[in-house]
Copies of this chain bind each other. A is one copy, B any other.
Amino acid sequence: MARTIKLAVVAGDGIGPEVVAEGLKVLDVVLAGSDVTVERTEFELGAKRWHETGETLTEDDLAAISTHDAILLGAVGDPTVPSGVLERGLLLKLRFALDHYVNLRPSRLYPGVPTPLANPGDVDFVVVREGTEGPYTGNGGALRVGTPHEIATEVSVNTAFGVERVVRDAFARAQARPRKKLTLVHKHNVLVNAGHLWRRTVDAVAAEFPEIAVDYAHVDAATIYMVTDPARFDVIVTDNLFGDIITDLAAAITGGIGLAASGNVNPSGAFPSMFEPVHGSAPDIAGQSKADPTAAVLSVALLLEHLGLPEQATRISDAVTADIAARDGSPRTTVEIGDALAARVAG
């Protein structure tokens, strides 16, 4: 049955457009000759738009994006824009407005990938990071700014509603994986209010998933395990900020953020989900075709899987596995890597 995917493309800043171009190239190749076609809309969002219009993401942009089946995002952030303006006004606004409460970040150490760890073991886990609460809500403020009496606050907001739905999603993912293990990462000995809500929720949902072995680690201890025994992790569920931190670390130990893909998922399907590399806009190497587009390409694979096209997703991840195994350390441009991946996908 012929199918059309309406894809919103937000290439964004820095290396964003470069890596997204390769992601789209591979997407075209993997769907070529199939009955699935892609209808793309490009959205001019990011630093350029902000400089020209002062806009980050208007209600009209949001409404237009919302009519799509999925979003592919490159990266957001530029040194010429005050810190936080694009991150909060564009990237986080998309995650919050489109209710991306599951921020999915798989980490797998591909064979042959250089890792900073001497003995990484068999690393294959997924972090289910909450995406719409925690200290990311923008519920902070400041008083007497610039004076010796300034006080600045940041409020982490956690609700039973918000925690339960992401915890439930994480358990379901653990259930579908062979090792059937779930680790809650938090800091409940200090952040007792939020921590106890998370713990109680995990305990309650665990009763519905008797096959899942449930584990807990404080976020500080989790960073230790991440470098001493990352193979212990299967599914990690955690809050927005802790998830941000440990997934960068997870990316580092599995070969770097050049390979780490992510999905900002709205499992209900009420809004389009958004797929993006974990890396940022890397303005220092932008425009030089130096960025590794693999993370963007793997984000396309996550996108296809989310849209119910697992076979095509697997063809992409297999191509990545093969490409990585064949890497000999000689430098390749962004386009060369994209071409190589596309060629492998084409078979």
Contact = CB atoms under 8 A, between A and B. Distances in A.
A190 interface: yes
Please indicate which of the listed interface residues A77, A141, A144, A145 has the most CB atoms of chain B within 10 Å of its own CB: A145
Nearest to A223: B249
Contacts of A156: 135, 140, 153-156
Given A117-B227, A118-B116, A194-B153, A84 B245 contact: no
A141 B189 contact: no
Contacts of A145: 197
A203 B245 CA distance: 25
Contacts of A244: 187, 190, 219-220
Interface string A130-164: 00000110001110111111111111111111001
Interface in A226-283: 226-228, 241, 244-249, 251-253, 256-257
Given A224-B257, A227-B227, A190 B252 contact: no
Contacts of A332: none
A142 B193 contact: yes
A88 B196 CA distance: 14
Interface string A165-190: 00000000000000000000001111
Nearest to A149: B160
A87 B187 CA distance: 11
Interface of A: 77, 83-84, 87-88, 92, 115-119, 135-136, 140-142, 144-161, 164, 187-197, 199-200, 219-221, 223-224, 226-228, 241, 244-249, 251-253, 256-257
